[in-house]
Amino acid sequence: MSQLSTRHLLGIKDITADDIQLIFETADNFKEVLNRPIKKVPSLRDITIANIFFENSTRTRLSFELAEKRLSADVINFSSSNSSVKKGETLIDTVNNILSMKVDMVVMRHASPGAPHFLSKNIQANVVNAGDGTHEHPTQALLDAFSIREKLGDVAGKKVAIIGDILHSRVALSNIFCLQKLGAEVMVCGPITLLPKHIDSLGVKVEYDVQKALEWCDVANVLRIQLERQQIKYFPSLREYSLYFGINKKMLDRLDKKIVVMHPGPINRGVELNSDAADGEHSIILQQVENGVAIRMAVLYLLAGAK
């Protein structure tokens, strides 16, 4: 297989295991390019990409922009905070104005679940979802699974515990779909108030005791407490959350095996993850960020080919 089964990347739910393997194999090649003295290839020389971000981002925005520049695409960046969205312009008007500048691809982050899906039905350009509300964050899941494959040799058969605020997390849902498509076993762990009702219907194990989750897994993917999405209190205080669900080096050292610790970022240090665990020997957090560029290069390159 040399082409994706889709012309947009809206979610992991919509793509196949073969698509994911193709993205990984392509990312392997781009990772090799990124380690060369000259890190640029001409693959997307005639392509113009708009990064339109209606929500804050550091890693995803910079990683997409770098991936696009490494592929020699022309890049324009839009952030809603300093745009005419503030004057009441609609999403579709904003995007159509950007597209009239002859844009081939749109990378979009939006606070509303389904916004990239809506966009893909209304424009000709390829659409990549860079995170839509609490729904999906497909390139994050791809780079997470790619990092597990790199560290442990394969994703199939591995046990991955996703720990933290599952309820408000787009990373959790995309990870569940991606890991299961690749043959991993998935557990979710957190306070009962931060686990969606009926999450077990997705075929995941559910655990409320973080030490037991760590004992079960090969990989702990620790998620951020998303205070900006919490309109009510889901736990008494951050101190209590940290006491019962925070992960530190002592907990990792207590295990009779060495597990891998991941986090998509940004980290609330001292809340879901202590610095001695985030920066310690178990952590591959910065490798995740590094792999994000190769994965996004692969996604953009393959979508451009699917045109």
- Residue 260 · residue 221 · CB < 8 Å: no
Rounded alpha-carbon distances, angstroms, from residue 76 to 14, 63, 79: 27, 14, 10
* Nearer CB in complex with ligand CP: 33/62: 62
* Nearer CB in complex with ligand CP: 183/266: 266
Is position 13 an interface residue for ligand CP (rule: CB under 6 A)? no
Task: Report the residue from 3, 58, 124, 275 that binds ligand CP according to the rule CB under 6 A.
Answer: 58
Stretch that binds ligand CP, among 58-66, 91-99, 179-187, 188-196 (CB under 6 A): 58-66
Is position 203 an interface residue for ligand CP (rule: CB under 6 A)? no
Is position 59 an interface residue for ligand CP (rule: CB under 6 A)? yes
CB of 307 to ligand CP, least distance (A): 26
For the beta sheet containing 126-132, the strands, ordered from the edge strand earlier in sequence to the opposite edge, are 74-79, 48-53, 105-110, 126-132
Stretch that binds ligand CP, among 27-35, 144-152, 260-268, 270-278 (CB under 6 A): 260-268
Is position 264 an interface residue for ligand CP (rule: CB under 6 A)? yes
Cα angle 16, 27, 299; round to 5: 55
Binding mask 93-132 for ligand CP (x = CB under 6 A): --------------------------------------x-
Is position 265 an interface residue for ligand CP (rule: CB under 6 A)? yes
Is position 16 an interface residue for ligand CP (rule: CB under 6 A)? no
Is position 72 an interface residue for ligand CP (rule: CB under 6 A)? no
Give DSSP secondary structure letters for 152-207. HS-STT-EEEEES--TT-HHHHHHHHHHHHTT-EEEEES-GGGS-TTGGGGT-EEE
Q: Is 112 helix (H, G, I), strand (E, B) or coil?
A: coil
* Nearer CB in complex with ligand CP: 136/185: 136
CB neighbour list of residue 80: distance below 8 Å, 6 or more residues apart: 52, 53, 54, 55, 86
Is position 147 an interface residue for ligand CP (rule: CB under 6 A)? no
Q: Is 251 helix (H, G, I), strand (E, B) or coil?
A: helix
CB of 278 to ligand CP, least distance (A): 14
Is position 140 an interface residue for ligand CP (rule: CB under 6 A)? yes
Please list the residues that pair with 207 across neighbouring strands: 189
Task: Report the residue from 157, 183, 203, 266 that binds ligand CP according to the rule CB under 6 A.
Answer: 266
Alpha helices in the chain (DSSP H): 17-34, 59-70, 91-99, 115-122, 138-152, 170-181, 210-216, 238-245, 249-253, 275-278, 285-305
| Site size for ligand CP (CB under 6 A) | 10
- Tokens 């000709």 locate to 124
Q: Report helix angle 59-70 to 285-305, nearest 10.
A: 50
Task: Report the residue from 6, 57, 248, 287 that binds ligand CP according to the rule CB under 6 A.
Answer: 57
Is position 164 an interface residue for ligand CP (rule: CB under 6 A)? no
The residues binding ligand CP (CB under 6 A) are 57-60, 131, 137, 140, 264-266
